[in-house]
Amino acid sequence: MILKNRIVALICIALTLASCNGNSNTPDVKENDTVETATRPVGELLFDNLVGTWRRDDGKSFERWTKIAMGHYRSEVYKLQKTDTAWEEQADVFRMPDRWFFQNKVAGQNEGKAVRFTSTSITENSVHFSNPAHDFPTDIHYSMPDSNMVHAYIVGPNSNGGKDTIPFNYTRYK
Based on the structure, what is the number of domains in the chain?
1
Q: For residues 27 and 75, which has the higher predicted lDDT (pLDDT)?
A: 75
Quick one: three-class SS letters along 3-45? HHHHHHHHHHHHHHHHHCCCCCCCCCCCCCCCHHHHHCCCCHH
Q: For residues 38 and 51, which has the higher predicted lDDT (pLDDT)?
A: 51
Q: Is 23 among the domain residues?
A: no
Predicted pLDDT of residue 97: 87
Predicted pLDDT of residue 38: 52
Predicted pLDDT of residue 12: 44
Q: Is 153 among the domain residues?
A: yes
Percent of the chain with pLDDT over 70: 78
Q: Is 13 among the domain residues?
A: no
Q: Is 142 among the domain residues?
A: yes
**β-strand partners of 112:** none
- pTM score: 0.76
Q: Is 5 among the domain residues?
A: no
Q: Is 81 among the domain residues?
A: yes
- Domain range for 107 is 41-172
CB 132 within 8 A of CB 138: yes
Q: Is 96 among the domain residues?
A: yes
Q: What is the pLDDT of residues 110-152, one digit of tens each?
A: 999 999 999 999 999 999 999 999 999 999 999 999 999 999 9
Which domain CATH number covers 147? 2.40.128.20
Q: Is 68 among the domain residues?
A: yes
